[in-house]
């Protein structure tokens, strides 16, 4: 039936109008998974039996004449670092290969309340540490636009599943660009909310002051609807913002007239791919033609953001991952004594990138280096945030590239960590400052790979982001483009 390439809002209308059933939709997605998952490898765990039971329950509800909510009966997936009660949550690590959480993350509870069809858990860079989904302990995920390329990361499985048509929507997490960059690489919409707007309870921690959960969808309309479900205060998360979340669908208006859009000159870095710069500047020109005012702004501390991020994030990772010791939960490798067991467990069960970041973070936090590295990075973080504060005194949103390049070939950067880290130059400042950012498709490279436009907003400014992204999207056809892998065979 080829329902897999339609956005959630279209499928929702089809369910309401009884053009399809939720079971038919689920089976269409399973057929698609059987067709392409062997090439894409987006999933770690599939939950087919539970998904079909959910779909059947929705059909029974519709048959009784009851109303259904937006995501009800719509198949989606959850990144495998978000806890799901009774379903493995591995973080793509040998350390948690067989871990089954005894509780749900708050976002999963919120989803369950509206009865979507959850198809499974998706692949990621181990413990969300990476930008390509090559650092998974199990296998790399492939980009549906070109299976020789990475899908981005760390939420690469979540993005690849939606782009391949093996899910209609997904949840990812974003610590330094891990929603926005894979969304851009896979031609999708990805939103990193304001820090604290979506609960982190049940998200396996990487860097607690940076992590956020958000949606990856086919278009901005779906993104707004998913945000309506997952946003809001949670008493279980001490960093949750105690403020009522708005109805984001009310921001789905095609109007940027009078909107002041800031263009930070520091984000067009030396060495940026010509196709990326062309697509992003073309998008900016379109927004200007639609009535927005373009204002050049300076954010002078942007060049220090990567350095600060990779000290803060690794320091927090070192602290958060200290709990994986082979004693309380997770894997254990037996040793001659407890110290030997501790060493063997962490040496054998953590991957190279995770160990690299633990060591960097432990060094930065060690006596004699704390002030020189970690404390200094916190000071730089404040300066980066002040850059955003000053810019937002003049403009409503900022527009930048997502990454310096489109998706690159698998293997091209994984052996050069510094080169990989520099891919985050446009995304990490958003996490350091806690503001929201969205990726929306804005073009293609000469070899047909998607390119994303990043729109950055004020704290709790998701409504303006959605309005700006929706206006741009609705005046273009990029979001309607289908990855070649998705074409019906």
> Which CATH number covers residue 152?
3.90.1300.10
Structural domain includes residue 105? yes
CB 373 within 8 A of CB 381: no
Quote the domain boundaries for residue 398.
Answer: 8-262+393-486
Residues 351 and 397 in one domain: no
Task: Name, in order, each residue with C-beta under 8 angstroms of 213's C-beta and a sequence gap of 6 or more.
Answer: 82, 105, 107, 171, 172, 173, 174, 193, 198, 199, 200, 203, 230
Whether residues 216 and 362 share a domain: the answer is no
3-class SS at 457?
A: strand
- Number of Cβ within 10 Å of residue 289's Cβ equals 9
154 is an active site residue: yes
272 in a structural domain:
no
The sheet carrying 450-457 orders its strands as 43-46, 117-122, 75-79, 169-174, 212-217, 189-192, 437-444, 450-457, 397-401, 260-264, 293-297
Cα–Cα distance, 132 to 332 (Å, whole number): 28
**Is the CB of residue 43 less than 8 Å from the CB of residue 123?**
yes
Nearest to 401 by CA among 256, 481, 282: 282
Question: Residue 212 in 3-state DSSP?
Answer: strand
Q: At CA 138, angle to CA 137 and CA 139, rounded to 5?
A: 110
DSSP-assigned beta bridge partners for residue 275: none
203 within a domain of the structure (yes/no): yes
- The answer on 162 and 68 residing in a single domain is yes
Q: In a 3-state reduction of DSSP, which class is residue 291?
A: coil
Where do the DSSP E strands lie in 290-419?
293-297, 397-401
Check whether residue 324 and residue 460 sit in a common domain. no
Domain boundary among 381, 415, 440: 381
- Would you call 79 a catalytic residue per the annotation? yes
Same domain, 51 and 147: yes
- Name the active-site residue from 79, 94, 121, 349: 79
Classify residue 270: in a domain, yes or no. Answer: no
* Residue 445, CA distances (Å) to 117, 187, 215, 233, 407 in order: 34, 11, 25, 40, 10
Contact 164, 483 (CB under 8 A): yes
Residues 313 and 416 grouped into a single domain:
no
Q: Are 140 and 133 in contact (CB under 8 A)?
A: yes
Q: Which residue bears the tokens 């390119």?
A: 451
> Does residue 361 share a domain with residue 426?
no
Residue at a domain's end among 359, 381, 403: 381
- Could you give the CA distance from residue 224 to residue 251 in angstroms, rounded to a whole number? 8
Domain boundary among 381, 402, 426: 381
Question: Which residue has 């074409």 as its token pair?
Answer: 487
Alpha helices in 231-351 (DSSP H): 274-289, 305-320, 338-349
pLDDT at 418: 81
Q: Within this chain, do residues 236 and 351 fall inside the same structural domain, yes or no?
A: no
175 alpha-carbon distance from chain centroid: 9
Could you tell me if residue 356 is inside a domain? yes
My answer on whether 318 and 418 are in the same domain is no
In a domain, residue 275? The reply is no
Is 178 assigned a catalytic role? yes
Is residue 104 located within the same domain as residue 157? yes
| Torsions phi, psi for 339 (to 5 deg) | -70, -45
Our count of domains for the chain comes to: 2
Whole-angstrom distance, CA of residue 54 vs CA of residue 420: 40
CA distance 228 to 234: 14
* Closest listed residue to residue 7, CA positions, set 487, 488, 479, 396: 479
What is the model's pLDDT at position 487? 47
Q: What does the pLDDT profile of the chain (489 residues) look like in tens digits? A: 689 999 999 999 999 999 999 999 999 999 999 999 999 999 999 999 999 999 999 999 999 999 999 999 999 999 999 999 999 999 999 999 999 999 999 999 999 999 999 999 999 999 999 999 999 999 999 999 999 999 999 999 999 999 999 999 999 999 999 999 999 999 999 999 999 999 999 999 999 999 999 999 999 999 999 999 999 999 999 999 999 999 999 999 999 999 999 999 999 877 899 999 999 999 999 999 999 999 999 999 999 999 999 999 999 999 999 999 999 889 999 999 999 999 999 999 999 999 999 999 999 999 889 999 999 999 999 999 999 999 999 999 999 999 999 999 999 998 888 888 889 999 999 999 999 999 999 999 999 999 999 999 999 999 999 999 999 999 999 999 999 984 433
Question: What's the CA gap between 284 and 110, in Å, rounded?
Answer: 36
Query: Pick from 355, 382, 360: which is nearest to 315 by CA?
Result: 360
Q: What is the pLDDT of residue 271?
A: 82
Residue of 178, 240, 251, 439 marked catalytic = 178
What pLDDT, on the 0 to 100 scale, is given for residue 270?
A: 78
In a domain, 406, yes or no: yes
Do 157 and 197 have their domain in common?
yes
The answer to whether residue 307 is domain-embedded is yes
pLDDT at 306: 96
Residues 352 and 226 in one domain: no
Candidates 154, 170, 240, 439; catalytic one: 154
Q: Using CA atoms, how far apart are residues 416 and 128, in angstroms rounded to an integer?
A: 18
């Amino acid at each position: 039936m080829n329902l897999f390439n339609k956005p959630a809002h279209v499928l929702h209308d089809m369910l309401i109008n009884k053009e399809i059933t939720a079971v038919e939709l689920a089976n269409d997605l399973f057929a698609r998974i059987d067709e392409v998952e062997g090439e894409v490898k987006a999933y770690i765990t599939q939950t087919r039996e539970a998904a079909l039971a959910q779909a059947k329950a929705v059909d029974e509800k519709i048959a009784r004449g009851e109303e259904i909510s937006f995501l009800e009966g719509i198949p989606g997936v959850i990144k495998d670092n978000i806890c799901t009660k009774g379903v493995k949550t591995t973080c793509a690590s040998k350390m948690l290969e067989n871990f089954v959480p005894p509780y749900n993350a708050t976002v999963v509870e919120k989803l369950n309340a509206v009865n979507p069809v959850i198809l499974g858990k998706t692949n990621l860079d181990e413990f969300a540490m990476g930008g390509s989904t090559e650092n998974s302990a199990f296998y790399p995920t492939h980009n549906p636009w070109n299976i020789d390329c990475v899908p981005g990361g760390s939420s690469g499985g979540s993005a690849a599943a939606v782009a391949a048509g093996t899910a209609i929507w997904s949840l990812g997490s974003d610590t330094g660009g891990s929603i926005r960059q894979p969304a851009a690489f896979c031609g999708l919409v990805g939103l990193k909310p304001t820090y604290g707007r979506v609960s982190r309870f049940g998200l396996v921690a990487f860097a607690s002051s940076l992590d956020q959960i958000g949606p990856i969808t086919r278009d901005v309309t779906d993104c707004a609807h998913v945000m309506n479900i997952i946003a809001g205060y949670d008493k279980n998360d001490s960093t949750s913002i105690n403020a009522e979340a708005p109805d984001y669908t009310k921001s789905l208006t095609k109007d940027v007239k009078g909107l002041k859009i800031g263009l930070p000159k520091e984000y067009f870095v030396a060495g940026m791919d010509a196709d990326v710069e062309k697509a992003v500047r073309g998008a900016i020109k379109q927004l200007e033609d639609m009535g927005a005012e373009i204002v050049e702004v300076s954010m002078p501390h942007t060049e220090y953001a990567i350095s600060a991020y990779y000290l803060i994030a690794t320091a927090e990772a070192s602290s958060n991952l200290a709990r994986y010791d082979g004693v309380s939960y997770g894997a254990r490798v037996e040793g001659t004594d407890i110290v030997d067991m501790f060493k063997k467990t962490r040496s054998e069960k953590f991957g190279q990138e995770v160990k690299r970041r633990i060591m960097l973070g432990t060094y930065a936090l060690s006596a004699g280096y704390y002030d020189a590295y970690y404390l200094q990075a916190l000071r730089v973080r404040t300066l980066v945030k002040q850059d955003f504060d000053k810019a937002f005194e003049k403009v409503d949103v900022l527009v930048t590239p997502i990454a310096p390049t489109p998706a690159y070939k698998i293997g091209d950067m994984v052996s050069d960590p510094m080169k990989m880290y520099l891919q985050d130059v446009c995304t990490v400042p958003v996490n350091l400052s806690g503001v929201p950012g969205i990726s929306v498709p804005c073009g293609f490279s000469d070899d047909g790979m998607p390119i994303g436009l990043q729109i950055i907003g004020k704290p709790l400014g998701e409504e303006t982001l959605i309005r700006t992204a929706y206006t741009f999207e609705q005046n273009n056809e990029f979001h309607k483009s289908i990855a070649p892998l998705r074409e019906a065979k």
